[in-house]
Chains A and B, each alone.
Chain A
């Protein structure tokens, strides 16, 4: 088989002109590629699995009041007295139904906690304002609409409950109101 030695291909395939060792090099490159992909997936999924405090995500140059608070008029419904989970979904989102199920069951069992699911395609203004880059992304709001924390990707009930407990600790005033 002819091995091309173009500039573009030189780094990728034609490290060795000999066909046998060329095959070994390619096989090694494939293994490295798949190992790197696995590592990146592992790091990304660990990072995405927990709720992160909101302030990490405010982009510079953005009006803080706008990007930090979601109002009931943004959502067209009342916020929860204890907290509100706002879930950004989309038509091509494979994980969204699982997250919806977790949050629906959680809000059914927790009075004062509201779950709102938004179709991102219909709310691109909110998607941009709150720096949503993938679905599902879940924002957890204080009773006054200030964003407490956020997460994206698959969600487990314990993670959601832990975030809710953190929120309650952060807003003791909401218990007495």
Chain B
């Protein structure tokens, strides 16, 4: 067990690696709004090829978010190009790592749904879309990052450390 150390609160972050440059927190919220809208359409389509295809699109957007960060998704680029120039400068910047982790959680949820659909359980598509919709909606409407909250729970369940 490692010896406990404290982080001086005068230095932000306190993580071993220096924190990456901050991003406008309204970007991920806008992106989550777009994701939520796509998921609503997915749910309205029910089951079938159209719904599955749209959920695959959402999954691909999550892949972009995991590999490039939320600012690198299509929604993030759209926010940067068209929306942020119309807004006042942000009052504070956000660490890009939490929303990126949440993109991974979203990808796992959507991926599980698509897997179930591929295995012959078409209900996997709307169920995964509903779970992801709740997270995306809460993120967009209230700024609550549900995926980020899961991080510590996951760490607690890990057998060691």
Q: How far is the CA of A142 from the CA of B109 in the complex (A)?
A: 42
Q: Would you call A117 and B148 a contact (CB within 8 A)? A: no
The smallest beta-carbon distance between A119 and chain B, in angstroms, is 6
Contact-size category for B: 35 or more
A133 is contacted by which of B50, B127, B156 (Cβ under 8 Å)? B156
Central interface residue in B6, B25, B45, B94, by most chain A CB within 10 Å: B6
Binds B, one of A52-60, A92-100, A157-165, A169-177: A92-100
Given A26-B43, A30-B44, A94-B148, A124-B5 contact (CB < 8 Å): no
Given A117-B14, A132-B152, A12-B126 contact (CB < 8 Å): yes
Given A12-B127, A120-B152, A133-B156, A33-B50 contact (CB < 8 Å): no
The smallest beta-carbon distance between A166 and chain B, in angstroms, is 22
Contacts of B124 in A (CB 8 A): 8
Q: Which residues of A contact B (CB under 8 A)?
A: 1-4, 6, 8-9, 12-14, 22-23, 26-27, 29-30, 33-34, 37-38, 41, 45, 73-77, 87, 89-94, 97-98, 100, 103-104, 107, 115-128, 132-135
Q: Which residues of B contact A (CB under 8 A)?
A: 1-7, 9-10, 12, 14-15, 25, 40, 43-48, 50, 92, 94-95, 97-99, 101-102, 121-124, 126-127, 130, 133-134, 137-138, 141-142, 144-145, 148-149, 151-153, 155-156, 161
